Amino acid sequence: MKAKNVMTTLVHTVKPDDKVGKAVYLICRHNIAGLPVVNEQNKVVGVISEKDILKAMYPSYGEFYEDPISAMDFEKMEENFQEVNGLLVKDIMTSPPITAGPETPILKLGSLMILKKIRRIPIVDEEGKLLGIISEGDVHRSVFRCYLPVKE
């Protein structure tokens, strides 16, 4: 089974210069965990995930080292969420993105997700333009349906 047989083709995306708040809205609105970041030519230039957004809310190691008491002020972190919402996607996205082509075998995508500790892979054409996306759940469901049929 290939990526093209399993990928979701209706993909919500953001652009590098969009506010993180737009990504937060799309993630919450569509109950997804991350989004491809595309440029004006629809080429995938990054990925932004819930993890990236949450990581931006927490203090860095340096901030924690300099002032561990303030770094552990979780109420202040919640207040700082508005600041994170105002950042640009390009400031916190993961780049360069890990992508794959439509002919990539599903099990290879699953292995890549495990190896790279990622949960979604944008599927792109030869020019890097977005065709679809495959999540960890998509890989699992397709493998289970195809190779591990339930017998009742």
Residue 152 lies in a domain: no
Residue 88 lies in a domain: yes
Residue 97 lies in a domain: yes
Residue 82 lies in a domain: yes
Per-residue tokens: 70:
């303030």
- The domain in which residue 49 lies consists of 3-147
Report pLDDT digits (tens) over 31-81.
999 999 999 999 999 999 999 998 887 655 566 556 666 656 667 666 777
- The CATH number covering residue 111 comes to 3.10.580.10
CA distance 54 to 33: 12
Residue 60 lies in a domain: yes
Residue 39 lies in a domain: yes
Compute φ and ψ for 88, nearest 5 degrees. -90, 145
pLDDT of residue 41: 97
Number of domains, the chain? 1
**In this prediction, what percent of the chain has a pLDDT beyond 70?**
82
Residue 46 lies in a domain: yes
Per-residue tokens: 93:
């996205």
Residue 79 lies in a domain: yes
Q: Report helix, strand and coil shares of the chain as percent, to nearest 5.
A: 45, 20, 30
pTM here?
0.84
Mean of the pLDDT values across residues 116-144?
94
CA distance 14 to 11: 10
